[in-house]
Amino acid sequence: MSDSGRSERQVVRRAQRWVVKVGSSLVTDEGRGIDPESIAMWAAQIAGLRAQAREVVLVSSGAIAEGMKRLGWMTRPHEIHELQAAAAVGQMGLAQAYESGFAKWNLKTAQILLTHEDIADRRRYLNARSTISTLLGYGVVPIINENDTVVTDEIKLGDNDTLAAMVTNLIEADVLVILTDQAGLFTADPRRDSSATLITWGQAADPRLESMAGGAGSGIGKGGMATKVRAAQRAARSGAATVIASGRESNVLSRLASGESVGTCLVAELAPMAARKQWLADQLQTRGRLILDAGAVRVLMEQGKSLLPIGVTELEGDFERGDLVTCLAPDGKEVARGLVNYGASDARRILRRPSSEIESILGFVEEPELIHRDNLILLDRS
């Protein structure tokens, strides 16, 4: 591996927040039903990551395949209601298997079923992010799957690659690991081209990667390598690296955490925080304005801290939680912009008040900050 490749592998070794996606062919032993041994193996490795103070979210396929097995269906149905029924039955077995596997390591799990609408809708997006972050804070391993029992579009298990990337962006993870039944991304399809070689690392934005990825993969999961490359490109938008590797590799997660080269590592051009700050800087449309006192401006500009309600004298606009707002100094000059934790109606009630009083005023607390420093970008006042 080149020096650049070694350097990029350190991105994975240093990663603190992981999203790990396992494909249905791995979870269900090529469609024969949930494989407890494989689940126990991943549980052991994730327990190892947790022992290193790393946070892990698991995105798992396999509900429909497990449901088909439990219902005695030999071929995948085409009717949407039959697919939904299989998913509903399979989710029971999937949740039980993960709960048992992680219990051996005294780790609690939580099942979260998401749809693309949960990510697209602002309020549901923020609620999902808060729920997952809270679970991670309590040391719980969230097990996420697409909510196949309620979606009305055609169900494709390959969508879990995209879902995993969306979850990576949602929780601002450092790395996405996609475990599949292939060793990684090759220069060509190794099943058809004996000269194909494994790509050990590259830039996620490289336009040549999709053409190398080819078509669909196994007959159990419908994603294929192309969806995994597109997932890596999506994850890179928030600065996350993506590793595509075989889930059958011995101790694959532990070896990645130690900095070993396994599979294909596709890196982002910017680190997670830099990518987020760049995104904030590029946004042209803001939903409201916060007028800060001189002390708040000084704390932001000189100390790089979060914006608290007590430092805001007034606000303008009808924004919602998660909207981008402008922060103005007393002289009217823009000093920062960021994503606000409270909608305008709630924010008005807590202005000039200490964070310790938020719950008594609103009856709840989203965050102690009006804008967290990670969601805030400072602007040059010169």
* pLDDT for res 351: 96
Which DSSP symbol is given to 355? Answer: G
- What residues does 326 pair with on adjacent strands? 289, 337
Q: What is the mean pLDDT of residues 215-223?
A: 45
Q: Which CATH architecture describes the domain 283-378?
A: Roll (2.30)
Q: Tell me the pLDDT band of 201, cut-offs 50, 70 and 90.
A: confident
b/e map of 135-155 (b: 16 or more CB within 10 Å)?
Answer: bbeeebbbbbbbbbbebeeeb
- Give 162's Cβ-side CA count (13 Å radius): 15
Residue 335: name the closest of 296, 369, 283 by CA. 296
* CATH topology assigned to domain 3-274: Carbamate kinase (3.40.1160)
Taking residue 39's Cβ as centre, other Cβ atoms within 10 Å add up to 23
d(CA 130, CA 144): 14
CA-based torsion, 326, 327, 330, 332: positive or negative:
negative
The answer to whether 185 and 251 have CB atoms below 8 angstroms apart is: no
Asked whether residue 206 carries a pLDDT value surpassing 50, the answer given is yes
Residues 313-367 pLDDT 10s? 999 999 999 889 999 999 999 999 999 999 999 999 999 999 999 999 999 998 9
* Residue 56 near residue 20, CB atoms below 8 Å: yes
pLDDT band at residue 290 under the 50/70/90 scheme:
very high
The domain segmentation of the chain, as residue ranges, is: 3-274, 283-378
Distance CA 316, CA 328 (A): 11
Phi, psi at 211, each rounded to 5°:
-70, -30
pTM to 2 decimals? 0.79
Q: How far apart are CA 115 and CA 229, in angstroms?
A: 21
> How many residues does the structure list for the chain?
382
What pLDDT sits at residue 146?
Answer: 81
